[in-house]
Every structure is written in C-alpha cells, then in structure tokens.
Structure 1
Amino acid sequence: MIDFSQYQGPVAEWEEFAASTNFANAATQDLTPLELRMRQNSTRISASRMNLKQKGLLHRISWVDHSITTRDSQVIVARVYRSKGAPLGTILPVYLYYHGGGHLFGSIETEDFACGLIVTNYPPPGIIVVSVNYRHTPEFRWPTQLHDAWDAFEWLSENIEQIGGDQSRVVVGGISAGGGLAAGVVLHQNKLLHEGQPAPPIRFSGQVLCSPWILHPLASPFSNHPLSSFNQNQTAPNLPWSALKLYSSLLGEAAITDSQFNVALSTDDQLQGLPKTGCLVSGQDLLRDEALYFGDRLNKNGTPTKVHVFPGLPHGFRRFTSLWSASRWEELIRECIQWCLSDDTKSSFVVESNLTLEP
C-alpha cells in the first residue's frame, strides 16, 4: 500500500473558508436520485450562469450545439465552444471534455462556465472545447456512459475539420466521473491500437484527469487500509462516502469488474504507449489515492506525467471560486493542455499551496 496520507491536511485556506461558509454535501437520504439530480443541476446551472456574467465571459465566447447519434440510435448533445476573438478559418487545437457529477449529475448547461474558462484562459489564437452530455444514472447504467463518451470521440474524429479543429492536436480530459470517462476512452483506444483493430484516426496528444474517479469502491485494494483516502474521508465535504456509495450503486454491477472503469488497476501492458498525462488531485478526497497511484504507475511505465496535488482541499473545491486554489486549479488545466500539446516530455510532481505566496 502506497501511503498518500501526508496530503490529507488540514490546511489553513480550507479551514478558514469552511468556518465562514455554509454548504451541504450532495447526497441526502430524503431525496430520490432524480430529485437529487434536479436540485444539483439547478444549483450548478445557476452558479455557472452567475460566474459567466460576473467574469464577463459571455462577451468573449460562443458555442454551438451538435447532435450525436449513439450506437443504440439515441441522441446526445455536444456543445462546441470557441473564442469570439479567434480569427475565422484558423485551425485550432481541441479539448474533448467530459463533466463530473458521479454519473448522476451534470448537463450541457452546467459546464458553460468551466468550458468558457478553458477557452478564455488559453493563449491566442485559442482552443476549441467540445463538452459531451453523456447519459446519466439512474435511467442508464454502466457502460452506457462509456459508450456515449466513445461515440462522441468517434463523432469528433469524423467532424473535427467542420468545427475548425486540428486532428493532430487533440487532448481529452474531465473531472471526477468525467475524468474516469476520459481515462477509459484513452485506455480503449490504446487497446485497439495494440491489437491492430480499427480505431478513430485521432491520436490523443494527452489527457488531463482532474480528481478522476478511476476505481470502483468494491474493486479497491486500498479501502481497508487505515491511512487510505477511503478511510480518512468518510465524511469529507462535497464527496462523503454516503455520496460515493450512492453513485456506485446506481451504476450497476458491471462497473465493479470493468477494466475501463477501474483504470487505476490497469496492468503494465495496458499502460504501455499511453499519451502524456496531467493529473490534478485534491488531498482531502475519497478519490485521492487512486489518482496518485495511477499517476505514479504511469510515470513508472514510461508515460510523461505531471501530477499536481492540493493538500487538504476537498473534492470539487474548484466550485468555490473565491479560493486561491480554485483559481490555480483552472490555471493548471490550461497549463496541462498546453504541456500535452508541446514537445516537453519531462514528468513532475508538484505540491500546490498558496502558503508559498505569502511574504
């Protein structure tokens, strides 16, 4: 067992913020999953719209929705964002993005601010962000979410020129459940390539995994260790065990043994040839250990890997935009995308803290 408990915290930034802020954990026993999703999505959409307005992003970005037909003849939506300042006809790199929310929450509208930040933070001439609204539990169990993520990747491969994207500069990523989907898509493409099977022509330049959910709790080899993130964060803010248990149960039994869900448990052979990987990790997070373990294994198997860990910060802290660490998190997404698209192949491990900025 690799011990990552040194990143648990506490840290002053979060302790001070938590002491002055009232917020509730996502899962409550008095709501059905559908009621919980409705409430959470409404809250996230409102926050996204408010942040778009306050940050002045509505005047700087534009988006267009596209319909994607899935393998089971259903339709999901991809929202394509770009800067209003990008010169017409300019071919831009693409960031394929999957949202978080435990496979229960999230919609095409909840991600407008997050995707808008990526677009506006990126240096000229800019970047295109493609946000995929895959289907959710409880109506759709695993592997529908992964199938939708892959079908969206195939759609992008077929339509990248039409949206102004550069096929040779594509990075995939996501947060939490979406980070797991991104990692699953990359792992599946790598498998097809190794086996000489047909695969989309796009070869990812890299992946950006933000607090990725890449290990089912019932498949975890870490859960019984007293210093594991599973034991340290049973009642952690934003993602307590009660919430993760609910999200896991709604996925169904197939996720427990699926290698494309449990990416952290990939064999060394499966990890050979993966693209550059940027990984952002929260210290006070149930998902901390699987992310750090996966990043370590990628690096040992020859994948250039950059890991940034935020000690003492809980899962999803980026939503609290007043925090220094939330701003740094958004900066790092842009930095990781740029690194994936660069010629730099150096790996690194950085502990992020605003304490270093104090005089």
Structure 2
Amino acid sequence: MPKLAESVPSGVLAGALRLAFGLPAPLRRLITGRPITVDGQRLHPEAQLLLRLQQLSGEDWRTTTPAENRLALSRSNQLVCGPIIDGVAVRALSAAGVGARFYEPTNLPPGSPLLVFYHGGGWVSGDLDSHDNLCRFLAVESGVRVLAVDYRLAPEHPFPAAVDDARNAFTWATEHAEELNVDPRRIALGGDSAGGNLAAVTALHADRAKPVFLLLFYPAVDATVRRRSRELFGQGFFLTDEKMDWFMDHYAPSRDTHTDPRLSVLLAEDLSGLPPTYVATAGFDPLRDEGEAFAEKLAEQGVPVVLRRHPGLFHGFANILGVGGVFREAVAEAVGSLRTGLALANAQQDVPDTA
C-alpha cells in the first residue's frame, strides 16, 4: 500500500499540517508525546510536532535513488514552505551558463545590495523551486535583490562541478551588477546546508571582487571528521547519519577529495580574508558542531562573526515558513543580521580614505 504522503495530494497534506499546528496546546502535546531533551537542549514543541506528523504521514527524505530523493524533498518542502510570498518580481536568467532565478522586491530602487544564494540538498537534491519561498522571504524582508543559483547536482555532476558553478555565477553577478540594478560593492553570499558550503567556498576562493557578507544556515564545512553532534542527532531529526553518508558518497565518492578546502572549507589554513559572517546552527542537527567550529575558527582569525544556535530546532528549519512560528522567527533573525551587515558595509565604503 502507498504511504499516506504518496496517496494524498500535497495541498491537502499541507492544509492538514496547518490545521494540526492550530490545535490547542493540550491536543498538540497528545500528538507529540513527552518532551525530548538531548545534550541539555529541549526540542521545541513545534519542531517536535512537525517531526511527529512527518513520521505519522510516512513522509521521508529518502536515500534510495537520487531521483526519489529529489522527489521526496520536493514534496516535503511543499508541505512546509507556506503560501507563495508576494511583493517580489521573479524571472529566470543564465549566469555564465549556470541557471538562475532573480528576485526583485516591488519598488526597490536601483543600487540595492544583492544576495547570491545557493540552495541546500546535499549537493544531490534541491533546486530553484525547493527554495523559492525562502528566497522570496529573504528578498522581501531584507530589501535586497536575490540571485538563486541552480548549480549542477551529483551524482550526474560530482565534485567540484557545484563549486565551479557557484563561483562562476558569483563572478557573473559582480560583472553584471549594473544590468541587475545592484551595487557591485554590496554583494553578499548565502546558502543553507550544502549551499552554505558553496557560499563559504566561493567567498574563500573569489579572485577579484569579494563578497561583503556571508549568510550561512547550518553549513556543511568538514567532510573529514565525525563530531559529537553527528552521533547525538544522527537519527530521528530529519537529517540522518545515513543520509549524510549517502550524499557524500554521491557528491565526493573519492575520499582523497574530502580534505580539499573546496569541500572541507574548515580545513583551509587561512580564513582571515572572509567577510563578516552570520552562522545559524540548529541544536538538533548532526551538522551543528562543524558549523560552530567554523564560526570559532573565523573568530580566532579575526573575522567578525555572529554564531547563533537555535537550540530547539533541527536541520532544514529555514525552509519551514508555512507552519508554526519558531522556524520563521529564526529566519527573520538571520534577515536582521543580513540587513545590518550590508548597512555596515555601505557605511564603511562611504568613509573617505585619509591615507
């Protein structure tokens, strides 16, 4: 028999999900069960409810084949991304041969900052559609134009294809800033999970123009070490230990590549040239500890960095804009950091050179 998640239209399931989140608190607690506490952190009730409903529906982010994994992620995102956010014009374009989608908030004047954004999905899944509402949210709430990059996916295009596409798209954006109506001096990079990896790697290896800010949601930054958070949260919290191995086996099957800083950016000796950075991690995420180790290394090397752990959330929270409130609040906090970082970059550029 097909699972409930496969036999019921996504729109119906999404409506049922919103209905469940609207139930009185005592009923929600009956569904979720006892509070979950690990490593001194309590899973937020909204996060626990979502995981429990995912379990009951049979919805899962599968690791059987890349095609099924992509379909499962697409369905999962449709359930939680929420209604399409208005107030932004969207168009497709090509960035040096790399597919992309450009977001322009309504009535935003020319000369705004630009956020080049790389979607997550383990370098195997995810696309422009899976992160469409997140990019809309970032554009509208930050007051910036956003260029979402549709980099090539593994296993059809293994490492370093995604790295090359990410870098080429960023370079293209800096060279075509005028026609995009953006300020070439205020271009930021951002991404979630695998996309956070690509953003950090692109910033590290940028040749000429450099990004002025990094916005990273739970980035993957080290393929060489199994940290404690992977042992603690590798099962039952959306991103699993099995999935992480499966993604890496498809993206970088040769272990010889795992120490390459274009994959394990945390291993780069010199990170001091990176711009001010905001790193958001989730308490119940296998990637938590490596993201926080990255932030700590940035601070040690003199890079202005804000590390924000959301202790009650799990991996992937940036896409959950349609149910509950805690997930959206976490993304809104990152938006505030992006706005501040871009404003400071603008102020620094306006200071006259007295040398």
The TM-score bracket by the shorter chain reads 0.7 to 0.9
Deviation of 1:179 after TM superposition, in Å, equals: 0.1
Deviation of 1:128 after TM superposition, in Å, equals: 0.5
| TM-score with structure 2 setting the length | 0.79
One-letter amino acid matched to 1:172: L
One-letter amino acid matched to 1:212: P
Q: Is 2:61 the partner of 1:26?
A: yes
The question of whether the paired residues in 1 share the 8 Å contact of 2:219 and 2:287 is answered with yes
Q: Is 2:200 the partner of 1:183?
A: yes
Out of 63, 79, 83, the residue aligned to residue 90 of structure 2 is: 63
| TM-score with structure 1 setting the length | 0.78
Q: Is 2:338 the partner of 1:337?
A: yes
Deviation of 1:46 after TM superposition, in Å, equals: 7.1
Out of 146, 166, 173, the residue aligned to residue 149 of structure 1 is: 166
One-letter amino acid matched to 1:106: G
Q: Is 2:272 the partner of 1:272?
A: yes
Q: How well do the aligned residues superpose, as a CA RMSD in angstroms?
A: 2.1
Out of 136, 149, 172, the residue aligned to residue 116 of structure 1 is: 136
Equivalent position of 2:232 in the other structure: 232
The 2-side partners of 1:288 and 1:272 are apart by 22
Deviation of 1:33 after TM superposition, in Å, equals: 1.8
Deviation of 1:295 after TM superposition, in Å, equals: 0.6
One-letter amino acid matched to 1:81: Y
Note closer, same or farther for the CA distance 1:18–1:44 as it changes in structure 2 (3 Å cut): closer
Note closer, same or farther for the CA distance 1:305–1:6 as it changes in structure 2 (3 Å cut): farther
The 1-side partners of 2:301 and 2:285 are apart by 25
The 2-side partners of 1:296 and 1:324 are apart by 29
Note closer, same or farther for the CA distance 1:111–1:319 as it changes in structure 2 (3 Å cut): closer
The question of whether the paired residues in 2 share the 8 Å contact of 1:27 and 1:242 is answered with no
Equivalent position of 1:247 in the other structure: 247
One-letter amino acid matched to 1:38: L
Deviation of 1:84 after TM superposition, in Å, equals: 1.8
Note closer, same or farther for the CA distance 1:121–1:240 as it changes in structure 2 (3 Å cut): same
Q: Give CA-to-partner distance per residue, 1:324-345, whole Å, 9 cap, x none.
A: 321112212211211221338x
The 2-side partners of 1:316 and 1:111 are apart by 11
Deviation of 1:288 after TM superposition, in Å, equals: 0.3
Q: Give CA-to-partner distance per residue, 1:268-293, whole Å, 9 cap, x none.
A: xx112221000000011110000111
Report the 3-state secondary structure (helix = DSSP H, G, I; strand = E; otherwise coil) of the residue aligned with 2:280.
strand
Note closer, same or farther for the CA distance 1:236–1:266 as it changes in structure 2 (3 Å cut): farther
Q: Give CA-to-partner distance per residue, 1:132-152, whole Å, 9 cap, x none.
A: 000001101000010000010
Equivalent position of 1:262 in the other structure: 264
The 2-side partners of 1:153 and 1:164 are apart by 15
Q: Give CA-to-partner distance per residue, 1:175-218, whole Å, 9 cap, x none.
A: 000000000011112xxxxxxxxx23x321110110001111xx
Question: Which residues of 2 match residues 1-359 of structure 1 at below 5 A?
Answer: 6=39, 8-19=41-52, 22=56, 24-28=59-63, 31-44=64-77, 48=81, 51-52=83-84, 57-58=85-86, 60-69=87-96, 75-87=97-109, 90-122=110-142, 126-189=143-206, 199-200=207-208, 202-216=209-223, 219-220=224-225, 222-223=226-227, 228-251=228-251, 252-253=253-254, 255-267=257-269, 270-321=270-321, 322-343=323-344
Percent identical: 26
The 2-side partners of 1:19 and 1:37 are apart by 22
Structure 1 unaligned runs (5+)? 70-74, 190-198, 345-359
Structure 2 unaligned runs (5+)? 1-37, 346-355
The question of whether the paired residues in 2 share the 8 Å contact of 1:283 and 1:309 is answered with yes
Report the 3-state secondary structure (helix = DSSP H, G, I; strand = E; otherwise coil) of the residue aligned with 1:271.
coil
Q: Give CA-to-partner distance per residue, 1:304-333, whole Å, 9 cap, x none.
A: 111111113211133333233211122122
The 2-side partners of 1:165 and 1:250 are apart by 36
Deviation of 1:80 after TM superposition, in Å, equals: 0.9
One-letter amino acid matched to 2:164: H
The 2-side partners of 1:84 and 1:10 are apart by 37
Note closer, same or farther for the CA distance 1:281–1:307 as it changes in structure 2 (3 Å cut): same
Note closer, same or farther for the CA distance 1:255–1:313 as it changes in structure 2 (3 Å cut): farther
Deviation of 1:43 after TM superposition, in Å, equals: 4.6
Note closer, same or farther for the CA distance 1:96–1:164 as it changes in structure 2 (3 Å cut): same
Equivalent position of 1:349 in the other structure: none
Note closer, same or farther for the CA distance 1:238–1:63 as it changes in structure 2 (3 Å cut): same
The question of whether the paired residues in 1 share the 8 Å contact of 2:77 and 2:319 is answered with no
Q: Give CA-to-partner distance per residue, 1:15-58, whole Å, 9 cap, x none.
A: 34444554644124xx322222234235536765x520xxxx23
Tell me the number of residue pairs that the alignment of Structure 1 and Structure 2 aligns. Answer: 303
The 2-side partners of 1:86 and 1:282 are apart by 32
Note closer, same or farther for the CA distance 1:10–1:259 as it changes in structure 2 (3 Å cut): same
Q: Give CA-to-partner distance per residue, 1:41-78, whole Å, 9 cap, x none.
A: 35536765x520xxxx23x1101211134xxxxx3211
The question of whether the paired residues in 2 share the 8 Å contact of 1:25 and 1:240 is answered with no
Note closer, same or farther for the CA distance 1:300–1:257 as it changes in structure 2 (3 Å cut): closer
The 1-side partners of 2:290 and 2:267 are apart by 9
